[in-house]
Structure 1
Amino acid sequence: MGRIVTMGQIAIVVHGGAGPDSEFILKHIPEYEKGLSDAVEAGYSILKKGGSALDAVEAAIISLENNKYFNAGRGSAITAAGNVEMCASMMDGKEKKAGATAIINNIKNPISFAKELLKDGSLMYMGGAEATETAKDMGIKMEPDSYFITEHQWDAFEKERKKKGGQKKAYDKHTKRQHGTVGAVALDIDGNLAAGTSTGGTEYCQPGRIGDSSIIGVGTYADNKTAAVSCTGDGEFLITEVMAYNIAATVEHTGCTIQEAIDHVILVKNEDKTGDLGAIGIDSDGNIGVSFNSERMHRAWRTREDFGVKIYK
């Protein structure tokens, strides 16, 4: 049996994306709640045994990437070209090291590839076909194209294709579409923070589009001195606001809690934004924070004192 840690603060928060509600979500609330619970438990079980925040974040996100109900890994959105393009990133708050990947396919768990890039150190950010080949060389598990395409996402693709008349250059940031991201932030027994984010993109988006999830400081950020943050929502808005770093910097420069920082950046500083914005975070004192301006944000959290799963406000 592994060592069970009984002292010190440990915490983990996960999200399964912020965005508009849908009939599909309403029909599958129990499945989404179980998926969130399973993910947070996968990460917390590592923290409870004295494991690292990095390993906990990876385990939680792998659980979500393997779950067909979430838009990451298996269950990724399908582009206008009829394929899957995934992105992921991870950051270690202790050493301020990061790894990220964009526009990849066939990699079963993009977050594990991001973690390998973080550990490798010589390569931080890779994308496209060459990134997939590098992942193979690293021994990252692969799956065929069919593994990633679920019935739900294929139905969404067909619906959009008919609406767009089959055109492939179809991305329009002003069109309200289903989108999604998964992410996790964690604090381990040694006081180290980590964050990670993974996405299958936006339904029927233009091939080659890169959103926020793979960009350090935007979708993902971690610094032991301030906070670990994972963001979700409309990538174009998150990118221009450098959202994850913006939240951590608010903690640093004002001394506020992570909840106050996320609320301020999303609900006050960006109150005029028409896009969906959401974030989860943990600060260096072990406080957790969650905020969003959208109709829903799938999330779950676990500390020594508290556990919860929610989809709506």
Structure 2
Amino acid sequence: MAVPMALALHGGCGTRTRQELTPDIEAAVRAGLERALEAGWHHLRKGSSALDAVTAAVIELEDDPQFNAGHGAVFTSAGTHELDACVMVGQGQRAGAVAGSHRIRNPILAARAVMEHSEEVLLAGPGADAFAEAQGLAMVDNSNFSTDWRRAALAEVQKLMARTGSIAGASESQKHGTVGAVALDRSGGLAAATSTGGFTNKPVGRIGDTPIPGAGTWADENVAISLTGRGEFMMRLAAAKEIAVRVAYRGTSLGPACAGLIRELDQMECGAGLVAVDKWGRITMPYNTQGMYRASISETGARQIAIFRD
């Protein structure tokens, strides 16, 4: 029986508000999601692996300044960028990740290199940068990731922190943002990839859920999952793996398993969202924030690109 291919991706649940999302910005966001979707789907159509598809999709999002990963990542409290990424494949549950990278142009490629060319799962900081450079990956100055609107967001959040001591009043686009993709290929292979700059004004050295297999990223023989939101909560719940466990051992189908997890995060006052696909090609993209940049396509030709609920 032929396996139905499927691809879903997100640009984070940290969307701009409807007021901030001018027609020009919305058009740019939708175009970025479309490019990422087409990049991943191109690989699936020609028979490449789910890993190739999610890697290609995330590279597009990392290179797009509209999203919080790679070029366009948020700033740390020190005015620098520290980038995290992870890939995972269902077959053999292999994974690779990098955290706190300063110079890797596309952290998702470094995460894949860790999985394919090392015995480790996670490399961090200067060690991750050195490994990526030794692998021949493109390296850039840290300032390459900077954009004016993210710099303005840093100034706003730091003023808010000085006044209130909390980021509770910050906008969702300032508090969190991530990119990710999940895919099912013709052979039934599943893969997930996630990449992020973290949250605006994050402490130097902070590592979230994105590069932690089982927290923000997961793939096994049944499901592939990529999360977005405040990573500390995802790590505490082992959120991605929790969904996989509910599917594998409780007999819960993918949609209810993901929706239930998002409800639990909502009860913890954690803004969150995810994209997931199962071995049958069923896609789900729930979230509890005002919006989530997201897109999906299946073998039936059904295609979705959306930001808000309407």
Question: Which one of 186, 189, 204 corresponds to residue 189 of structure 1?
Answer: 186
1:163 to partner: Cα distance: 4.1
1:223 aligned partner, one-letter code: D
1:151 CA displacement: 1.1
Select which of 259, 262, 276 maps to 1:263: 259
Separation in 2 of the partners of 1:92 and 1:121? 15
Q: CA-to-partner distance for each residue in 1:225-268, whole Å, 9 max, x for gaps?
A: x200000011111111111111111111232321121111112x
Identical amino acids, percent of aligned pairs: 37
Q: Does 1:206 align with 2:203?
A: yes
Cα deviation per residue 1:37-76 (whole Å; 9 max; x = unaligned)? 1101100000000000001000000000000000000000
Aligned length: 301
Tell me which residue corresponds to 1:159: 156
Q: Distance in 2 between matches of 1:311 and 1:32?
A: 9
Report the CA distance shift for 1:160/1:173 in structure 2 as closer, same or farther (over 3 A): closer
Give the one of 125, 136, 142 matched to 1:128.
125
Match of 1:236 in 2: 232
Which whole-Å CA distance do the structure 2 matches of 1:81 and 1:251 have between them?
A: 41
Contact 2:160 2:169 in 1 (8 A): no
Corresponding residue for residue 36 of structure 1: 33
Q: Any conservation in 1 of the 2:154–2:201 contact (CA below 8 Å)?
A: yes
Find the counterpart in structure 1 of residue 80 from structure 2.
83
TM-score by length of 1: 0.92
1:136–1:276: structure 2 CA closer, same or farther, 3 Å change rule? same
SS at match of 1:95: helix
Indicate conservation of the 8 Å contact 2:157/2:170, yes or no.
Answer: no
- Which residue, 69, 72, 80 being the options, matches 2:69? 72
**1:156 and 1:271 mapped to 2: Cα distance?**
25
User: Do residues 294 (structure 1) and 259 (structure 2) align?
Assistant: no
The CA deviation at 1:165 is 5.1
Alignment partner for residue 21 of structure 2, among 2, 21, 25? 25
Distance 1:83 1:211 in 2: 16
1:94 to 72, 91, 116: 91
1:246 aligned partner: 242
The question of 1:49 aligning with 2:28 is answered no
Q: Are the counterparts in 2 of residues 71 and 201 from structure 1 also a CA contact under 8 Å?
A: yes
Q: CA RMSD in A?
A: 1.7
Unaligned stretches of 5+ residues in structure 1: 1-6
Counterparts of 2:97 and 2:167, CA distance in 1: 23
Q: Distance in 2 between matches of 1:176 and 1:231?
A: 21
Q: Secondary structure at the match of 1:25?
A: coil
1:161 to partner: Cα distance: 3.4
The partner residue of 1:118 within 112, 115, 118 is 115
Q: Does the aligned pair in 1 maintain the 2:265–2:271 contact within 8 Å? A: no
- Decide which moves more: 7-16 or 290-299: 7-16
Secondary structure at the aligned position of 1:215 is classed as coil
> 1:121 & 1:134 partners in 2: Cα distance?
9
Q: Aligned partners of 1:38, 1:215: CA distance in 2, in Å?
A: 27
Code of the aligned partner of 1:235: G
Tell me the secondary structure at the aligned position of residue 96 of structure 2: strand
Query: Which residue of 2 is the match for residue 276 of structure 1?
Result: 271
Question: What is the deviation of 1:164?
Answer: 4.2
Which amino acid in the other structure matches residue 284 of structure 2?
G
**Is 1:107 aligned to 2:104, yes or no?**
yes
SS at 1:123 equivalent: coil
**2:252 maps to amino acid:** C
Q: Give distance in 2, aligned partners of 1:228 and 1:302.
A: 15
